[in-house]
Structure 1
Amino acid sequence: MSWMRVSPEGLLLGVVLDGLLGDPRRGHPVAGFGRAANWVEGKVYGDSRGRGVLFVGVVVGAVGVVGVVVERVAEGRVLRAVSTAVVTWAVLGGTSLGREGLLMARALEAEEMEAARGRLSHLCARDPKGLGSAELARATVESVAENTSDAAVAPLLWGAVAGIPGLMVYRAVNTLDAMVGYRNSRYERFGWAAARLDDGANWVPARVTGVLTALVGGADAWRVLRRDGGNHPSPNAGRCEAAFAGALGVRLGGTNSYGGEVERRPGMGDGRAPEVRDIRRAVALSKRVAFAAAGVAVAVAWWRR
């Protein structure tokens, strides 16, 4: 069958476009998807898991159908390569992740604490109120580590094995988790399906991220990944954060606040607490991991051709 086979040339070109352009400031397709998903949520919301399953099924199913249509219409090597490149660029977020990390680093280096706290929402849902430089640095390093998988490794792997539909469906699933996958009074039950589906979609990519981090980051990354990767409450984030902790020689984990709820996470790594300078190191490591993931994804796509 010719469909659900991604163009390796298109996948590579999409990675290059993301590296050169990052996310568009206006008219981003993912932002448009978010608005559409909000509209559907308003129509089907109910405080139950069943309603959440319906919501996810409708939204993700619609994206999957669009992805299949795009891939079926994109006949021919050149058109498929161009279509794959555009979709890959649209769903990748590695370059923008790095930019956000560097913006945080600059704010902290300039001791602009209010600006730094205001930027934290671009990286994670952690409550920035009252956080000092050290806690903001730790939050940023942890977010860069976790989102290296979500923003770069996972979409590339899904694109390599499931083509344009895989790229689009993965980004839809991950976006829905960011929208409704919270454990609060509104989404505890309604967001359950989105959160569990996202866990499943990221299970393999998170572990691949950990392995790639160890490959480019050294033996300590592998040692800490194996020892501490399962300590995190998330089945996936801990694999990325543990590997980054080992590679950077820092200790991650601790007390975090999300919407007034305090969460205490076990430590990962043996080193010192992260410092502001470690943000730049984490961004550089994330780029190396994303580059390695692109190589793996292109190789898989070529093999599948």
Structure 2
Amino acid sequence: MDFAGLPTPDAAVLAGAVLVALALDRLFGEPPVRLHPVVAMGHFLGAVGRRVSRAAGAVPRPGAEFWLGALGWCVGAALVAALAFAAGWAMEELHPLAQVALLGVLLKPMLSWRMLRDEVRAVEAALAESLASGRQRVGWLVSRDVTALSESQVREAAVSTLAENLNDSVVAPIFWFAVAGLPGAALYRFANTADAMWGYRGERGGRDWTWAGKWAARVDDALSWLPARLTALLIALPAMGRGWSAVAANAGLTPSPNGGWPMGALAVGLGIRLGKPGVYQLNGQGRAPRATDTARALRRCGQVVAVLALLAGGVLALSLGGQL
């Protein structure tokens, strides 16, 4: 390929596309709902999910539910990967500058930092009005019962969501884009959306997902395994890795094999306690988070996004510099 007259490796196009996607996210946020590919994934998963799961209270059929769920997931994943591959293939003959721009536009919906940041800020703003407002707002972010949460527990839920979704919504999509291009990022986003909609033990929305959602949950665990640990490492970078053993110890306290890593890193790094009542408590010796800690958490996670942009910029510069 020729980039401004120079032969350019694919790494430069990928790195440039990451920078474009991050810039679009910063400037414009999410695309319109009617054009958002993740919304389309959700519609597909919602329609298929009603057919592969059983109604709450119905007789369980573990084997049938599991394999129907796996089949439904695989059909959706194949469609998403095929569409992403076709989009990439259609760009192959374009000038690399056009590839960078188009890939960046298509990658943007697969990642979302601005919306995550704004939603966490909105929880803190709601808490400043009243505890009831804070509970209502954090209920948009978490699936747990929020009616009895204290002020500090509302804040813990918001900051925990921030840490976990820094991986799910930013680091992991970029990681899989670097590994497998647009199909990698799209497939990860589909898997993560499927886990969010299907990956429950027991009942949700009048359906029982114990078996129907098991495949979706396990695939998301596998695809998130390495990115979650990279996210934790990036969160811990400002402390130069100090307390990594404490991060690792806290990560094992959550039911998720991955979520505890970024959450634990943020809790240890900020010296605060993060927990879910009756389920886990990370950095239990830390203090309850205050309003200023939400701002600190947002800054720390924003630094991770900045590091990713710097890394992409470095790859682009090295790739182009190697051709001079």
TM-score (norm 2): 0.84
Residue 165 of structure 2 aligns with an amino acid whose one-letter code is N
| Percent of aligned pairs with the same amino acid | 32
Residue 212 of structure 2 aligns with an amino acid whose one-letter code is F
Q: Per-residue displacement from partner, 1:169-209 (whole Å, max 9, x unpaired)?
A: 11111011111111113101000011001001100100000
Pairwise CA distance, 1:248: 0.8
1:183 aligns with 2:190: no
Pairwise CA distance, 1:231: 2.0
Please list, as runs of the form range in 1=range in 2, the aligned pairs for 1:187-206 lying within 5 A after superposition: 187-206=209-228
Query: For residue 95 of structure 1, what is the aligned residue in structure 2?
Result: 114
Moved more, 293-302 or 209-218: 293-302
Q: Secondary structure at the match of 2:253?
A: coil
Please list, as runs of the form range in 1=range in 2, the aligned pairs for 1:1-305 lying within 5 A after superposition: 7-24=14-31, 26-27=33-34, 28-45=36-53, 48-75=65-92, 76=94, 77-111=96-130, 113-185=131-203, 186-220=208-242, 222-255=244-277, 263-268=278-283, 270-296=285-311
Q: Secondary structure at the match of 1:253?
A: strand
**Aligned-pair Cα RMSD in Å:** 2.5
Pairwise CA distance, 1:33: 1.9
Unaligned runs of 5+ in 2: 1-8, 55-60
CA distance in 1, matches of 2:202, 2:10: 40
CA pair 137-266 structure 1, distance change in 2 beyond 3 A = closer
Contact 1:18–1:89 under 8 Å retained in 2? yes
The aligned length equals 297
CA distance in 1, matches of 2:39, 2:212: 21
CA pair 298-277 structure 1, distance change in 2 beyond 3 A = same
CA distance in 2, matches of 1:197, 1:226: 22
Q: Secondary structure at the match of 1:129?
A: coil
Residue 249 of structure 1 aligns with an amino acid whose one-letter code is G
Q: Secondary structure at the match of 2:157?
A: helix
CA distance in 2, matches of 1:171, 1:231: 26
Residue 270 of structure 1 aligns with an amino acid whose one-letter code is Q
CA distance in 2, matches of 1:22, 1:233: 31
Q: Secondary structure at the match of 2:282?
A: coil
Pairwise CA distance, 1:276: 2.7
Q: Per-residue displacement from partner, 1:221-256 (whole Å, max 9, x unpaired)?
A: 53421332222221101111111011111122241x
CA pair 132-234 structure 1, distance change in 2 beyond 3 A = same
TM-score (norm 1): 0.89
CA pair 301-33 structure 1, distance change in 2 beyond 3 A = farther
Pairwise CA distance, 1:61: 1.2
Contact 2:273–2:281 under 8 Å retained in 1? no
Moved more, 9-18 or 28-37: 28-37
